[in-house]
């Protein structure tokens, strides 16, 4: 049995900081927040037992400063640091600094981060460990070299930033003529976001699913997988909706992917929570994409179907405790889906919509979980990711989970800023998504249906206007609900939300 913590610093902000602090409070552990100047009134600061300022708004002067994080931990007397996701969560400099300061890092060892942090190094390491990787090359020095490799393995190919993540520094190349321009753009973006312009090339898997495996391990070398999550609903390589079980991965395939993920994690001496991401081809073959050496944004869906608290397990592992279960002990029940609710405008190319939230009503009821970091009157800052919350649901079956998500989305109210709630409502009405027929290109192919607005031929406009007016009048007489109370997506609104929106619209 390891020695328990009495105080933990959460080196993050927003919803993930709030989520970690909630588990700490359940465990009887004091929480320490850090905050930039613009986050002084943020929810994570209000939730914490104590809070320490770490600098100006830009992340490079606050949340990304290892020295300031360590100084705050020392000043507060925190015995450990949980990094959440993003910011310093996959930077080995933080666990190194923690070790030097006598502070426990709640996460994997720095050595595992270094082995898996570079995509090219990770590909080599995983190939040697028997993990299937996509055909490609790690050492192209020029666009000409890349064309030669692409010609050998066959177009289309992907160019990817070696130190990348979050969908940045990625380009799809369909033919040799596109390579030079794509090569320069990928390198430029990689340099801008990661300070490293190294890119590598790999075979593009056409219409793949993005399926990931959650792993969990202790310091004694015990490792398990905690099933899969399907993260194929993406825009610009950024996940938007995640679910488990995957509609495209039968149990036998998940077991095989899970065993491979555990094998790969053991090869780098991994412990704590981590995720192996795979591309699943239409023929059932899967290929290693990358490993995220941290807690994933979408971890709630795994928690909902298994009953595990992954943050709690991370803390227990960091305290030196062994895993309390074996692979055979882990079971799951039902289906869970998560929607990322962003302050952004999908109809304008997903441009961020920072500003002050005037009113905020989050869904509740059976099987609904909202991991949020906002409140009425708070500011969604332009300095950071515009995630408002992660709305997750659980139900005994996927069909019931979809129905529950529709209901939850209809209850969600955010005013003062634009959000992607209407997009999510449309998605959960799309017949192909409902049938589980989708891949990573789904949003691009269905953009007009999900984020666009219908167009009407000029010669039909007057007739349509009359028809809409008549239909609205009949509906109002029959139900007492005005047209202003109908949701943008056509999804049925709860009476409370309909009443609220009617008052808002005057």
Total number of domains in the chain:
5
Identify whether residues 318 and 431 lie together within a single domain: no
Query: How far apart (Å, rounded) are the C-alpha atoms in residues 391 and 388?
Result: 10
Q: Is residue 129 part of a domain?
A: no
Query: How far apart (Å, rounded) are the C-alpha atoms in residues 157 and 186?
Result: 13
User: Which residues are CB-contacts of 144 (< 8 A; sequence separation ≥ 6)?
Assistant: none
Q: Is residue 126 part of a domain?
A: no
Identify whether residues 167 and 282 lie together within a single domain: no
Q: How confident is the model at residue 480 (pLDDT cuts 50, 70, 90)?
A: low
- Which residue is listed with tokens 């000409």? 144
| Stronger pLDDT, 130 or 347, i.e. the higher one | 130
Find the mean pLDDT for residues 15-20.
98
Find the mean pLDDT for residues 433-446.
97
Q: What is the pLDDT of residue 490?
A: 41
Q: Of 453, 473, 488, which marks where a domain is finished? A: 453
Q: What is the pLDDT of residue 474?
A: 66
| Stronger pLDDT, 60 or 496, i.e. the higher one | 60
Q: What is the pLDDT of residue 192?
A: 86
Catalytic residue list contains 294: yes
Q: Of 169, 203, 237, which marks where a domain is finished? A: 203
**Rounded percentage of the chain residues whose pLDDT exceeds 90:** 79
Q: What is the pLDDT of residue 237?
A: 86
User: If DSSP codes are grouped into helix, strand and coil, which group holds residue 64?
Assistant: coil
Query: Of the ranges 66-80, 176-190, 311-325, which one carries the lowest mean pLDDT score?
Result: 176-190
Per-residue pLDDT tens over the stretch 238-252: 999 999 999 999 999
Q: What is the pLDDT of residue 402?
A: 98
Q: Two tokens at 156?
A: 């289309």
- Which residue is listed with tokens 């390579």? 179
Q: Is the pLDDT of residue 285 over 70?
A: yes
Find the mean pLDDT for residues 402-413.
98
Nearest C-alpha neighbor of 197 from the set 154, 244, 162, 146: 162
Distances in Å between the Cα of 483 and the Cα atoms of 202, 401, 410, 471 are: 51, 28, 16, 9
Identify whether residues 197 and 210 lie together within a single domain: no
Identify whether residues 243 and 268 lie together within a single domain: yes
Q: Two tokens at 23?
A: 């588990």
Q: Is residue 85 part of a domain?
A: yes
Identify whether residues 149 and 235 lie together within a single domain: no
CB-based contact 7:76 (threshold 8 Å): yes
Identify whether residues 12 and 84 lie together within a single domain: yes
| Stronger pLDDT, 457 or 423, i.e. the higher one | 423
CB-based contact 62:54 (threshold 8 Å): yes
Q: What is the pLDDT of residue 505?
A: 47
Identify whether residues 60 and 164 lie together within a single domain: no
Query: How far apart (Å, rounded) are the C-alpha atoms in residues 152 and 374?
Result: 50
CB-based contact 293:125 (threshold 8 Å): no
Maximum mean pLDDT: which of 176-190, 307-321, 337-351, 450-464? 307-321
Q: Is residue 59 part of a domain?
A: yes
Identify whether residues 213 and 329 lie together within a single domain: yes
Q: Is residue 127 part of a domain?
A: no
Identify whether residues 419 and 493 lie together within a single domain: no
Identify whether residues 94 and 213 lie together within a single domain: no
Q: Is residue 117 part of a domain?
A: no
Domain assignment of residue 90, given as a range: 7-106
Q: Is the pLDDT of residue 255 over 60?
A: yes
* pTM of the shown model: 0.85
Please state, as a whole number, how many other Cβ atoms lie within 10 Å of the Cβ of residue 109.
20
Identify whether residues 87 and 68 lie together within a single domain: yes
Q: ∠450-452-457 over CA atoms, to 5°?
A: 130
Q: Is the pLDDT of residue 223 over 70?
A: yes
Provide the mean pLDDT of the chain: 91
Nearest C-alpha neighbor of 191 from the set 175, 168, 214: 168
Q: How confident is the model at residue 260 (pLDDT cuts 50, 70, 90)?
A: very high
Per-residue pLDDT tens over the stretch 376-404: 999 999 999 999 999 999 999 999 999 99
Identify whether residues 217 and 329 lie together within a single domain: yes
Q: Is the pLDDT of residue 468 over 80?
A: no
Q: How confident is the model at residue 487 (pLDDT cuts 50, 70, 90)?
A: very low
Q: What is the pLDDT of residue 331?
A: 98
The catalytically annotated residue of 19, 187, 294, 407 is 294
Per-residue pLDDT tens over the stretch 161-203: 888 766 788 999 999 999 999 999 999 998 888 888 889 999 9
Nearest C-alpha neighbor of 355 from the set 344, 371, 366, 347: 344
Q: Is residue 121 part of a domain?
A: no
Q: Is the pLDDT of residue 506 over 50?
A: no
Q: Two tokens at 504?
A: 């808002």
| Stronger pLDDT, 402 or 495, i.e. the higher one | 402
Q: Is residue 130 part of a domain?
A: no
Nearest C-alpha neighbor of 374 from the set 14, 129, 96: 14
């Amino acid at each position: 049995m390891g020695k328990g913590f009495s105080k933990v610093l959460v080196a993050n902000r927003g919803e993930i900081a709030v989520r970690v602090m909630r588990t700490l409070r359940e465990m009887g552990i004091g929480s320490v927040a850090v905050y930039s100047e613009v986050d002084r009134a943020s929810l994570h600061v209000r939730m914490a037992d104590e809070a320490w300022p770490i600098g100006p708004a830009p992340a490079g002067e606050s949340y990304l400063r290892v020295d300031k994080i360590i100084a705050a931990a020392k000043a507060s007397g925190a015995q450990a640091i949980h990094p959440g996701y993003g910011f310093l969560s996959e930077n080995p400099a933080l666990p190194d600094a923690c070790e030097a300061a006598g502070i426990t890092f709640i996460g994997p060892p720095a050595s595992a981060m270094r082995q898996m942090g570079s995509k090219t190094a990770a590909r080599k390491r995983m190939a040697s460990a028997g993990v299937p990787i996509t055909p490609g090359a790690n050492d192209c020095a020029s666009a000409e070299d890349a064309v030669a490799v692409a010609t050998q393995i066959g177009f289309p190919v992907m160019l990817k930033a070696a130190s990348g993540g979050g969908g940045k520094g990625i380009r799809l190349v369909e033919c040799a003529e596109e390579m030079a321009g794509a090569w320069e753009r990928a390198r430029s973006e990689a340099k801008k976001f990661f300070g490293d312009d190294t890119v590598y090339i790999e075979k593009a898997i056409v219409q793949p699913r993005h399926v990931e495996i959650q792993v969990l391990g202790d310091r004694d070398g015990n490792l398990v997988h905690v099933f899969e999550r399907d993260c194929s609903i993406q825009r610009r390589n950024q996940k938007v909706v995640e679910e488990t079980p995957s509609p495209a991965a039968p149990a036998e395939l998940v077991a095989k992917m899970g065993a491979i993920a555990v094998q790969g994690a053991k090869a780098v001496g991994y412990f704590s929570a981590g995720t192996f991401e795979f591309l699943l081809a239409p023929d059932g073959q899967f290929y290693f994409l990358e490993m995220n050496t941290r807690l994933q944004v979408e971890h709630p869906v795994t928690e909902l179907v298994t009953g595990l608290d992954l943050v709690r397990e991370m803390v227990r592992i960091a305290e030196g405790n062994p895993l309390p279960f074996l692979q055979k002990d882990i079971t799951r029940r039902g289906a869970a889906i998560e929607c990322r609710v962003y302050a952004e405008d999908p109809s304008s190319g997903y441009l961020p919509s920072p500003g002050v939230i005037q009113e905020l009503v989050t869904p509740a009821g059976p099987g609904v979980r909202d991991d949020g970091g906002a409140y009425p009157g708070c500011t969604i800052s332009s300095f950071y990711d515009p995630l408002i919350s992660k709305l997750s649901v659980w139900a005994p079956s996927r069909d019931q989970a979809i129905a529950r998500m529709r209901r939850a989305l209809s209850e969600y109210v955010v005013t003062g800023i634009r959000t992607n709630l209407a997009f999510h409502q449309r998605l959960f009405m799309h017949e192909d998504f409902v049938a589980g027929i989708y891949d990573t290109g789904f949003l691009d192919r269905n953009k007009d249906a999900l984020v666009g607005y219908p167009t009407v031929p000029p010669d039909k406009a007057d007739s349509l206007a009359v028809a809409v007016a008549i239909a609205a009048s009949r509906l109002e007489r029959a139900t007492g609900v005005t047209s202003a109370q109908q949701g943008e997506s056509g999804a049925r609104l709860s009476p409370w939300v309909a009443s609220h929106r009617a008052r808002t619209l005057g």
